Structure 1
């Protein structure tokens, strides 16, 4: 019996061995009979297989499988991917074995000082409570780097990203200003420039600070040209050196001339102006006139930094005589409806002291103390004692040639203090600048001023064709003989379209509107207006623009409808 059982066992074994051999002979190891995924938990299998172009029934292609692995990796959810092969239904089962990224429980940002965590986390698309996605993280890295660049931190960027189990660490280096080197073409003291700078060595570098500091230096008028250079620090890609090249010093000017005096006859004139004296930033100006019947002077000293503080000091001593044109009628001087023009001499002498200080970034305040003695013709001298306060907020991109930004000025002056005149006078001056292409811009200005009390005639608001406050086009005789060009209050507006023509030459199209008023009876119906064209030339030796404007005033008298005006400096 056992012998029969043994023979049967041997027969069955032979059959099974032969059957397995047959099955082995029928298996095709080059044909894919199934696709599967292993190792995934949070990401569905079908979402992974949707990235795979290899199909069941295809022959194995190592090149295509590499592309499939790349496509799965590009989902961003996996740190590692492997391919396993198994026998399956007379062929091969391809298994994509994945290692999933962790589900984030914490995101830590390190190294940032100038940009807050809240600002940076608002840019992140990777969130806690969700599986980390490398693809999203790379996009977040680019978004944060771009945000830093847009804010002016051009060196700021993510320098490393680390995973500690389920915690994501983002390490940022905002970049540093290593050294500032001052390179003037004259003997300007190093501290004179450094005390104006907001950027500091060792602090986070921001290109906007460089632009603002250059604008500050331009306002000093020490140099015609200020060019920054940036140099990478060896072995430190997150640090930079800034070199300020201060070229073409504006040392000052000397002007000689001859003109007619108010009393008639020739008057010699000399004007001496010294900028940045001894390289210490101080300025001295002497304007002297002398003739047979007149000796006038104006002596002005300015120190931008007295007592080793940020307080500026300016003192002006003057003695001068001018000719005023006014009108007379039955109503008296300067009355409405006047018809007779009168010329009279005004003699003034006095002193004005001004202290200035930065109140906040881009805002500066000034305090003035003034005393003057003034007489008109043969009248006795009368004195004015006054205190004035001024605030100026200046956001212009360039002091000499603004193309964008704005400037706001408010001034209030109180006279009295046992002087002969007692009044309150104030004005608001607003200016805005807008770029209009690569070589052109718009400039808009509005000024409104008022007063309380009796203003002496020489303290009234004035419109003059060759001054900042003017309606171009009305000639000087019209200004002198017509009401609306000197008064107790003022309303003025100007619009200019400016275009660069050639290097230091600019063309201007403009329209002006304005008028002064008796008391504070401002009326839009009584405004004078004009239109015109002009040209500007920048003169390096003067550090200023010279310009000619031709204005046409439709409402002027028949003989006073147009005028050519010469200007030193910009209109506004």
Structure 2
């Protein structure tokens, strides 16, 4: 509030207006609500404190018959009622006394007008308790000896009010021969007896919210501190992601009990738009927001990431819209679907092998229920080329606990190139794999999953295609017996994945621990342990740094085709596929990824790694190999297609992959 110093009717009207504003502001900021048993509500309204009797509020009746109270209990009950009644009566009397003594705004204006220019001989404050008296006195700008002015009265009244310890105040004047004595009459706030917060859920406990407040029971109520505390409560909610939460109501009863009512912004439901193929339940089950609970921004972001990682949708837009109840909302999810089906066909002819054909069909969102299915079949006019079939089916939700299951069945003969560590071809062969794999995963937390997988695969040498070594020959029979055969194994895994996007991460980590135990009546007995760790950081507007470490070890001497293998796309670019083998391995990669154009992204990378036998660490660090290179990734309807050119110690290699490198 502010007054001009000119002596005019406008100034006097400003004084009256300011006094009304001051008292009106106190009414707007603080509302007292007495407990139900007191029957009294104390309210600031229109510059007056009003004691209003609450009518029509019936007390709850306990219909369960209780045991008769003893004399001590009756005495305590009577004493408590008497104390409560005394407090209520005192509050009524204080309000009545203040309203009876407080002059009207017109009377204050008239008195001040008559004394403008008089010398202030003394300034007093009446009604302030001892703990806040000096605070009010020190807030004054006017000093003894100053001339009384409208501006001075306005500033002093405002300063006293802004200390926060008073609900209402008004000045009175005593004219003496030497000048005037100014007395500010104040209505002091009470001592806080208790703080009660209602409307909050278990996610934001009352203890946590009260801890964020500076006011505590036993403190003198300060309006400014209380407003800051309400802002602090709001800040707690915002920091924890509850962006719609707000303080719905606040009151102080005549016992000094502060009551704060919170409205956390409840989610009432979902409205999913744009679905044509996908069932609505497939979208709803991925959401981390819960109907009937407060809307949390972090849950909305997590829900968006989960929907994105399904790779079913071209675009996803999630936004809150008004609900039915006040400060409640619904989530509107607007989706544009992408083509999730894939069909491939290939054919060829050679004089050696005759007709060669391949057909594959699959769908990542089979029948719109979120399942994944793929079938591949290849045929050759000769028994000397690739042929066979493979069937894969994955169901991501077997139950309400998000147990996922996958099964893979295959009987296929395929070409395999075997290289030595110099990158020279040992043999191009046909290998036949026949068997099945089945696995289950279940989340143990929002970002962590446990898995178990069983493999039953019979690997046999089928035929020789080319190369200096022909393992069909009798001298290789013992080698074939030791390295081809039936593998039966169980693999246990624990995965923690906080990546925001599994296809093109811009942040988060991926860590997987796995242990494979082979035996179970198969031809090979071994244990293999692997830890894989990848991290992603956004370093610019759209630039990403990606880093990976992977280490594997076995205490056993592994068969040739069960050894760890590195080389090629996904492990050590710039070298041939599976060029290096061992009972232990390490791979490291560092990439800098950046956008090129629209859905085209580029990368600069370096890979390094080694494979060795016997020990946890290699005997000779010359076993390590490294490469550098560049890559391009293009987003397509079937997923990202990645092409890398790597330069290693043996020259350049081009690598092609569907999906991200890591």
TM category, shorter = 0.7 to 0.9
Higher helix share: 2
Measured in 1, the distance between the counterparts of 2:422 and 2:310 equals 46
Measured in 2, the distance between the counterparts of 1:296 and 1:434 equals 43
Match of 2:625 among 524, 528, 536: 528
Shift in CA distance, 36/315, structure 1 to aligned 2, threshold 3 Å: same
Match of 2:599 among 504, 509, 516: 504
Shift of 1:472: 1.5
Aligned to 1:16: none
Aligned to 1:169: 259
Contact 1:185–1:249 under 8 Å retained in 2? no
Aligned to 1:286: 375
- Kindly report which structure 2 residues correspond to 1:201-350, keeping only aligned pairs within 5 A, or say none: 201-234=291-324, 236=326, 238-258=327-347, 267-293=356-382, 294-306=386-398, 310-326=402-418, 341-350=426-435
Render the CA deviation track for 1:183-213: whole Å, top value 9, x for unaligned.
2432322222223333221112112112212
Secondary structure of the corresponding residue to residue 444 of structure 2: strand
Measured in 2, the distance between the counterparts of 1:340 and 1:222 equals 41
Measured in 2, the distance between the counterparts of 1:283 and 1:260 equals 32
Shift of 1:421: 1.3
Secondary structure of the corresponding residue to residue 306 of structure 1: coil
Aligned to 1:35: 123
User: 2:526 aligned with 1:423, yes or no?
Assistant: yes
Aligned to 1:142: 231
Aligned to 2:567: 464
Render the CA deviation track for 1:246-289: whole Å, top value 9, x for unaligned.
2123321112335899x977743222111222222222101222
Shift of 1:521: 4.5
User: 2:619 aligned with 1:518, yes or no?
Assistant: no
Measured in 2, the distance between the counterparts of 1:202 and 1:408 equals 34
- Kindly report which structure 2 residues correspond to 1:185-200, keeping only aligned pairs within 5 A, or say none: 185-200=275-290
Aligned to 1:8: none
Contact 1:273–1:284 under 8 Å retained in 2? yes
Contact 2:631–2:643 under 8 Å retained in 1? yes
Shift in CA distance, 308/208, structure 1 to aligned 2, threshold 3 Å: closer
Secondary structure of the corresponding residue to residue 195 of structure 2: strand
Aligned to 1:7: none
Shift in CA distance, 509/260, structure 1 to aligned 2, threshold 3 Å: farther
Shift of 1:324: 3.8
Contact 1:491–1:522 under 8 Å retained in 2? no
Secondary structure of the corresponding residue to residue 131 of structure 1: coil
Contact 2:496–2:511 under 8 Å retained in 1? yes
Measured in 1, the distance between the counterparts of 2:425 and 2:434 equals 29
Render the CA deviation track for 1:309-361: whole Å, top value 9, x for unaligned.
6322211111233444446xxxxxx7x89988333332111111112222222
Contact 1:374–1:382 under 8 Å retained in 2? yes
Aligned to 1:571: 661
Contact 2:116–2:149 under 8 Å retained in 1? no
Contact 2:132–2:165 under 8 Å retained in 1? no
- Kindly report which structure 2 residues correspond to 1:390-469, keeping only aligned pairs within 5 A, or say none: 390-466=493-569, 468=570
Match of 1:538 among 622, 635, 639: 635
Secondary structure of the corresponding residue to residue 307 of structure 2: helix
Contact 1:351–1:372 under 8 Å retained in 2? yes
Q: What is the RMSD computed on CA atoms of the aligned residues?
A: 2.6
Shift in CA distance, 225/260, structure 1 to aligned 2, threshold 3 Å: farther
Measured in 2, the distance between the counterparts of 1:288 and 1:272 equals 9
Shift of 1:550: 2.2
Aligned to 2:141: 53
User: 2:169 aligned with 1:81, yes or no?
Assistant: yes
Measured in 2, the distance between the counterparts of 1:459 and 1:115 equals 52
Higher strand share: 1
Measured in 2, the distance between the counterparts of 1:57 and 1:451 equals 94
Measured in 2, the distance between the counterparts of 1:362 and 1:129 equals 45
Secondary structure of the corresponding residue to residue 471 of structure 1: coil
Give the count of matched residue pairs: 522
TM-score, normalising length from structure 1?
A: 0.85
Secondary structure of the corresponding residue to residue 130 of structure 2: coil
Aligned to 1:365: 450
Shift of 1:435: 1.6
Shift in CA distance, 510/258, structure 1 to aligned 2, threshold 3 Å: farther
Secondary structure of the corresponding residue to residue 121 of structure 1: helix
Contact 1:29–1:91 under 8 Å retained in 2? no
Measured in 2, the distance between the counterparts of 1:521 and 1:345 equals 33
User: 2:584 aligned with 1:489, yes or no?
Assistant: yes
Secondary structure of the corresponding residue to residue 181 of structure 2: strand
Shift of 1:297: 1.6
Match of 2:437 among 340, 352, 376: 352
The answer for unaligned runs of 5 or more in structure 1 is 1-26, 328-333
Shift in CA distance, 172/148, structure 1 to aligned 2, threshold 3 Å: same
Contact 1:250–1:275 under 8 Å retained in 2? no
The answer for unaligned runs of 5 or more in structure 2 is 1-113, 463-471, 473-479
Shift of 1:89: 4.1
User: 2:186 aligned with 1:98, yes or no?
Assistant: yes
Render the CA deviation track for 1:51-83: whole Å, top value 9, x for unaligned.
222333433322431222111111111111111
Shift in CA distance, 311/129, structure 1 to aligned 2, threshold 3 Å: same
